A and B are shown apart, each in its own frame.
Chain A
Amino acid sequence: MDYIIRIIPQMLEGSIVTAQVFFITIVLSIPLGVLLSLGRVSSIALLQKVIGLYVWLLRGTPLMLQLFFVYYALPAVGIRLDDFEAALVAFVLNYAAYFCEIFRAGIQSVPQGQYEAARTLGMDYVQTMRRIVLPQVFRLILPPVSNETITLVKDTSLVYVLAMNDLMRTTRNLVQRDFDITPFLVAALFYLVATLLLTMLFERLEKRFSRYDQ
């Protein structure tokens, strides 16, 4: 027990990096995903294709490969990012692709009649999307977004490969230093608490957004 209390400060420090990657990725990739999905369902064929290709590339290759690519390959074309920035770029681009597909499916499941009703009431594209379609989409997509978010908590551990001192690397260092596997258990607990909090948050959101369903 003493040992656990001693290592907790260091592990919390590692958690800060993990939390930063997580929150910044969420805050940037969701809006980017919304924009991409709007392009994906737009009537502009070229835009649809380009975004389709983007989604295919980013969902079709491992996130770890994308991390390496941003960190090691981009400098070759003159884009040099430090490890934190590189991690964020890779995470945001990757998660935006997943969110794009979730939102696309959500948007396409809103019945045509909703668009038509909005049109006959004189609403323009922006009003229709903002007031009628997206609010309905948000309710539909909460479960898959919740899944994706929980996956992200765990995916953040991939920044390990860029030698960032996140929760995972801190844990591993402690284990190697002290020849004790307790830090692994504590780390598991940290991840579990984070995903539990998120699960509870999304349950509340789902309840709020589904009030018109009951």
Chain B
Amino acid sequence: MSEDPGVLRRHLDRERRARQAAETIAEEKTREAFQANESLKRLNEDLERQVAERTAELRAARDEAVAAQKELQRSNAELENFAYSVSHDLREPLRMVHSYLELIRHRANADLPPQVADYLDRAIHTTERMQGMVRGLLEYARVTTHGSPPAPVSADACVKAAVENLELGLEEARVSITRDPLPAVCADSEQLARLFQNLISNAVKYRHPGRRPAIHVAARKRDDGMASFRVSDNGRGLAAEDKERAFQLFQRPGDNTAIDGTGIGLAVCKRMVERHGGSIDVESTPGEGATFCFTLPLAEGDAAEGGSAAG
């Protein structure tokens, strides 16, 4: 400590000013902290409001999407019912037209000038084609309007049923069919049999002229709960640019002048597979054969086992 009162007084004065400065700074900091806190609060409120707004917007958008989806489902169903009733109701008058034309041919054939007889033949043939188309359309519409709910079913049994239905044709063409053990899937069993039947009959229909038809059916269990099936043949195959069209209704790409058909089979297959949540595709080397691959959900028990069925 100093003895000099002047020194002490100045020291005291400095200390006092330092304290005032400290207080001013402390006050300033407190105000800053308060304001920072206030603006944080505002920011927070702002954010909460924005989140609420955004949530409301999203909810409204979702409701709208759900409504649109429902509307789409409704109009789809309406269209399917319409296609079904139209094709259903067209059958009868078409059958009548066909019958009368046949009757005319039967009764008057000998008296008809050759040109008119030719027109009549063409009219009858066209009517038959139309009947085939209407039948196909009806079958196509029925996939969704008249399907049974999917249930566990043995794919083996469905292939067997398909082969039995085709028996005559298969024997005639001396077809060899082999199959691996197939898993159980969750499907409409009638439709699954129909699916195999369409694919196998195509394999025979579009066979290679120089080979005895051989068909093999294989399947593999996938990790995602789906079974993937492969129906392979050694037929004429199809060109890459025809693959997509082959699955479209009434489309018959390729040279089919000598082969009857309406272009319905694969469209029905695709619709059935998609109705079960699967997809269908074709791999082919033209001239060597084609392999149709499709997926279907595995039945509960078979899915749990995992791994692969023989394949």
**A and B form one complex:** no
